[in-house]
Structure 1
Amino acid sequence: MKHFIVLVALLCITVTTSAEDVRHQPLKDLNGYFPFNPPESIEQWEQRREYVRRQILVATGLWPMPTKTPLNPVIHGKIEGDGYTVEKVYFESAPGFFVTGNLYRPTNIQGKAPGVMLAHGHHKDARLDLTADNTLRNLIADGAERFERAGRSTYQSQCRQLARMGCVVWQWDMLGDSDSIQLSRELVHGFAKQRPEMNTTKDWGLFSPQAESHCQNVMGLQTLNAVRGLDFLLSLPEVDPERVAVTGASGGGTQTMILAAIDDRIKLSFPVVMVSTSMQGGCTCENASLLRVNTGNVEFAALFAPKPQGMNTANDWTKEMATKGFPDLQKLYMAYGKQDNVFLKRGEHFPHNYNAVTRSAFYTFLNKHFKLGFQAPVVEDDFDPLSPDQLSVWDEKHPAPKAADPDFERNLLAWFTEDAEQQLQDIAATPEGLRDVIRPAAEVLIGRSYANAGDVQWAPQDKQDRADYVQQTGTLLNKTYGEEVNVVWLSPKQWNGRVVIWLDETGKAAVCTDDGSVNPAVMKLVQAGSAVLGADLFDQDGEAVKQTRVVANPREFAGYTFGYNHSLFAKRTHDVLSIVSFLRNTDSSLGPNIEYKNVAVAGWHGTGPIVAVASGLADDAIDRTAIDTNGFRFGKVLDYRNPMFLPGGAKYLDLPGLIALQAPRPLWLAGETQTPATITAAYQATSQADKLVTFTGESAQEQAAASEWLSSN
């Protein structure tokens, strides 16, 4: 009786309800507001930094990093310049996947030379293009360029200047640009509509729900090319690994931020016209599902602190950076005692480009921090640029691969899928691998774990005495995130201190209906002394959701929505964690013995996978879990608007890989024709195989069997 009194007291506490669950507000898109709020201490920042860096790696398909196969570099066609050379290069970032570009080197290298990675933006045929005369004259008139000859190729101007300053420069092509022809420009940068022939459960293509569920995206391919390009640059014996920089503008600025954030080998970063609290990058090659959920470009730049980093403003989305974003970066650098390491070049009168003034700022910044010994400020001089034919990588002796080949696209993604699965099978075979690789990835997929589930309070609504138990309805208010979960409680008067969270796709009605009828399997639990809680997870309080919301962008790219917003699957998982957090973190002032002896969760039908993932992220806060998976796999979802779509859901050995995170806690599993080997191996690895119970009886008997298991000691 004492336990029952405490539970009723707990349920009768009243808090003020919120106006509305914030998750019903309009979705965020790439044109939203993305402020950076520096944490109060370096210790807090280092924790946040680790998470955001992992978020980038997961979103781009680089957690774990794909197997680094031989680059097989080909360097040919050397051209002698005034104090430097230019060579043509291609190598394989993955088997048969070519990265193309030009390598600039000083003629006479003394000792070790600094290395510079130069990424380009969305200008068509950027590395090979020469600016039209009328465009160039306008740039000169505005002060953006200085010379009629050198100004025709800003990329050659920059590479040449850096090489003459003693740097080895790798300037490579983005996908679908210049000599990178295996994936078309129209696909990489212009994708707009789903392709039925590429939207299949086998041999899928980019932008498909399958690719999204495996974290396979153009952003990731370009980021891998940058990482492998850095591998190539550092393979050159003359390059100093302690002086390697990266820079680029627009889409190249995005690549600069991302590479600098995830690869510690970069020692200086200079992203141009891209660090902003405003627009985050509009191209499909700059976006990926999961990438900017609760973060943004200024924080991406912050990940590089306290190493030297410069950036600029222009008459674009960066124009307010001096007052919105940069002061926060300065604050972070000051916390490290390195305020001189971060630099902003103002240029709001210039359009969106990497102009001669900004290039000079980069040379001068590089000269200072790499101690190159040139007089400041460093400026370019004039020269005659090379023609596109002179720079092109492909020729008769080095024939180009097939362009825009659909089979190549399918085979490339198949290689990444197989490579990841082989790595993750080995990782999942050990408790350490599950803990250190798959669980951290799951935290990113869901965007929350039990540790940061939030402060959850109870707002009661109605209470009915049902003889042996009390039925009460109300709302759990997650004050941290502004979220709500409507619930029903059945509390036995002879309560044994156990609570079972009983979840189903029908919401609270799966526990009891409005007329008081109780699910027989639930009543069995109540009669055994357990309190049972049913809930309407997010958007379960009406008709079943057939398609999830997406942002207004007409292009059918999941990353435009789920790169900035949690999926519905993740939001419902958040609700499960909110419920558990409430049960485990009630106010001890309510009375003695209010800690629950046991918290269990049961998930049926469409909520089985949600409960499985939530339980894997709840650690010991959930004592036992019962789920019916109904054979669900993320890899079978062929619509990115499906309520069960989860970006990255199939990557980590699909649902079995996420269920394996339960080990060694007790798990009752139904809905599988046979127990997946990944789950069995996880329990065997912890010497707790007996904690895994697989139900193989009739489906009509599942809930009754689960009730009996949940009631057992």
Structure 2
Amino acid sequence: MAAVLLLVSSVTVFAQTADNQFKKPLKEVIQQIESRYSVKIRYPEELVKDKYVTYADWRFRPADVEKTMANILSSQDITFAKEGDKKYKLQSYQYHLKTPEEGKQQLNYLATLYQDVASWERRKAALRSCMWDALKLSKLPAKPNSQPIITNKRTFDGYTVENVAIETLPGLYVTGSLYKPLNTKGLMPVILNPDGHFGDGRYRADCQYRCAMQARMGAIAFSYDLFAWGESALQFKSEDHRKSLAQTVQILNGMRILDWLLTRSNADAKRVAISGGSGGGSQTMLMTALDDRITLSVPVVMLSSYHSGGCPCESGMGVHLCGNGTNNVEIATMAAPRPQLVISDGKDWTQHVPDTEFPFLQRVYGFYGKTDVLKNVHLPQEGHDYGKSKRLALYDFLAQHFSLDLKKVQDKTGTIDESKCTIEPYPAMYVFGEKGENLPANAIRKFEDLEKLIQ
């Protein structure tokens, strides 16, 4: 009997692991799918080149083309998206994306983990500790002793602008624009404006409008470049921006900028805000979750339960894996009970905010009895930008919670008016000159040198 059992066991193992007769080239399998299900599948050639599917025909499900595609493509780290009736496109596995339904399911699960302030605070503390570790910032690197480089002060209607570079690690500089109000006395709010992945970075008009208006309302505003973007690209290659460590650098840059701004004698440490759109929205949520000095946040076109940020500078360090899995909604919720305005639209991954993501935030803010300081402005006909209607919502929220004077930016009819802001040509905003000729001699110029500093 023992011999028979051994024989059966051996046959079973052989059938499952030792036979490659069902192995086929991926391109051939895709052609089978197209033929069998009468669909069209497009893909870049390099995505399928030299790839094979083991047990290919066994992965087919006769009545379900999408289940079949999932069975086959998941083994290749490839995903698919529907483009129309019986049309699909293939792409590399998007680790940062779920389906909207999967995002909703995750929120439902997360909601079971806390029922009151005490249980939520325990969850938040665990998430924060893990995120510091994931970012390699549990022990902050030593801060350089250098003073910020400040150049080319310009005076406009109600505000000034200066170009600033801050050394955040030895030889690593973050560049930005400092906007200050004219003729304002007493303590003033401080507002961080991290850049997102919009074309032309912090030099674009909508960013200049936003920061100039903040200054004209009576706040100190600072806009700054993404890592390896804008003037930061003088030190690194543009492709370095899409390396995971960019996320760590951007959070560290934001903290170092805030360190410096709060040393100013007229900075009000009790009124500190942050607002950015897209990738700047990702920074806004994570910075607020990690730094209690921030007292108000406005993430724009980025809050989503199923999208964690398509750039490694938003999700590459694995902060979303903390706590056995989190997402940007729970990260944004870590701002509670501080005032928060979520701005969403109908044409990107924030389209479900009013029905899915915002109620999750409201529940936790409710633990503190602070739902009145949480607001969502949803613009269903708009898309992925930091356009004027989104800026108007920001100005109103800042005025309400930071006691800023909206009258300073209103016309005679009481309408908020951005026309007195000066939109400057890009070179006027460069710290290091038009060709980077003034970059400090100690500036590092290789990503490998940056890695050594962080390690």
Is the TM-score greater than 0.5?
A: yes
Number of aligned pairs? 345
Residue identity in the other structure for 1:162: Q
Task: Select 2:389's aligned residue among 333, 344, 357.
Answer: 357
Indicate the residue corresponding to 2:344 in structure 1. Answer: 313
Verify the 8 A CA contact 1:71 1:93 in the aligned structure 2. no
Determine if the alignment matches structure 1 residue 272 to structure 2 residue 300. Answer: yes
- Give the equivalent residue in structure 1 for 2:96: 30
Residue identity (%): 34
Q: What CA deviation, in whole Å up to 9, does each residue of 1:617-647 have, x standing for no partner?
A: xxxxxxxxxxxxxxxxxxxxxxxxxxxxxxx
1:296 matched to which residue of 2? 327
C-alpha deviation, 1:259, in angstroms: 0.7
Q: Does residue 109 of structure 1 match 2:147?
A: no
Per-residue displacement from partner, 1:528-576 (whole Å, max 9, x unpaired)? xxxxxxxxxxxxxxxxxxxxxxxxxxxxxxxxxxxxxxxxxxxxxxxxx
The one-character-per-residue Cα deviations of 1:468-520 (angstroms, maximum 9, x if unpaired) are xxxxxxxxxxxxxxxxxxxxxxxxxxxxxxxxxxxxxxxxxxxxxxxxxxxxx
Q: For residue 543 of structure 1, what is the aligned residue in structure 2? A: none
Measured in 1, the distance between the counterparts of 2:437 and 2:221 equals 22
1:253-402 mapped onto 2 (5 Å cutoff)? 253-293=281-321, 294-314=325-345, 315-374=347-406, 379-382=416-419, 383-395=421-433, 399-400=438-439
Shift of 1:347: 0.7
Matched with 2:239 is 186
Question: In structure 2, which of residues 242, 246, 252 is the aligned counterpart of residue 218 of structure 1?
Answer: 246
Is the Cα–Cα contact under 8 Å of residues 307 and 349 in structure 2 kept in the other structure? yes
**Equivalent residue of 1:312, what SS?**
strand
Deviation at 1:281, TM superposition (A): 0.7
Out of 224, 228, 237, the residue aligned to residue 172 of structure 1 is 224
Measured after TM superposition, the shift of residue 269 of structure 1 is 0.3
Question: In the superposition, relative to structure 1, how do residues 176 and 380 fare at CA in structure 2: closer, same or farther (>3 Å)?
Answer: farther
Secondary structure of the corresponding residue to residue 337 of structure 1: coil
What does 1:446-465 correspond to in 2, within 5 Å?
A: none
More helix by share: 2
- Report the RMSD for the aligned CA atoms in angstroms: 2.4
Alignment of 1:550-589 (within 5 A): none
Q: 1:37-89 deviations in whole A, cap 9, x for unaligned?
A: 34111111000000111222111111122222325211121001001000010
Within the alignment, does 1:75 sit opposite 2:171 as a pair?
no
1:92 matched to 2:158? The reply is no
Residues 60 and 288 of structure 1 are in contact (CA less than 8 Å); yes or no, is this contact kept in structure 2?
no
8 Å contact kept, 2:444–2:450 = no
Distance change (3 Å), C-alpha of 1:372 and 1:384: closer
SS at match of 1:248: strand
Contact 2:173 2:443 in 1 (8 A): no
What are the residue-to-residue correspondences of 1:481-492 with 2, within 5 Å? none
> 1:373-522, aligned counterparts within 5 Å?
373-374=405-406, 379-382=416-419, 383-395=421-433, 399-400=438-439, 408-417=446-455
Name stretches of at least 5 consecutive residues in structure 2 with no aligned partner.
1-70, 78-93
Question: Does the aligned pair in 2 maintain the 1:281–1:287 contact within 8 Å?
Answer: yes
Deviation at residue 402 of structure 1 after TM alignment: 8.2
Residues 56 and 331 of structure 1, relative CA distance in 2, 3 Å threshold: same
TM-score by length of 2: 0.72
Contact 2:228 2:237 survives alignment (8 Å): yes
Q: Are 1:245 and 2:273 an aligned pair? A: yes
Look up the SS of the partner of 2:355 in the other structure: coil
CA distance in 1, matches of 2:307, 2:429: 33
Considering only CA atoms, is the larger Rg found in Structure 1 or Structure 2? 1
Contact 1:319–1:348, Cα closer than 8 Å, also in 2? yes
- Give, in whole Å, the separation in 2 of the partners of 1:346 and 1:400: 42
In structure 2, do the counterparts of structure 1 residues 402 and 161 end up closer, same or farther at CA, with 3 Å as the change threshold?
same
Deviation at 1:112, TM superposition (A): 0.5
| 1:236 matched residue in structure 2 | 264
Contact 2:229 2:241 in 1 (8 A): no
TM-score using structure 1 length: 0.46
- In structure 2, relative to structure 1, the CA distance for the partners of 1:348 and 1:83 (3 Å cut) is same
* Local SS of the residue matching 1:127: helix
CA distance in 1, matches of 2:253, 2:148: 13
How has the CA–CA distance of structure 1 residues 302 and 378 changed in structure 2, closer, same or farther, with 3 Å as cutoff? farther
Q: 1:242 to 1:378 in 2, by over 3 A?
A: farther
For the residue of structure 1 that corresponds to 2:201, the secondary structure is: coil
Distance 2:448 2:239 in 1: 17
Letter in 2 for 1:174: L
Letter in 2 for 1:400: L
Equivalent-residue separation in structure 1 for 2:144 and 2:441 (angstroms)? 21
2:42 matched residue in structure 1:
none
User: CA 1:403–1:185 in structure 2 vs 1: closer, same or farther (change >3 Å)?
Assistant: farther
Could you tell me whether the CA contact under 8 Å between 1:60 and 1:220 is conserved in 2? Answer: yes
Aligned residue for 2:67?
Answer: none
Give the C-alpha shift of residue 334 in structure 1: 1.2
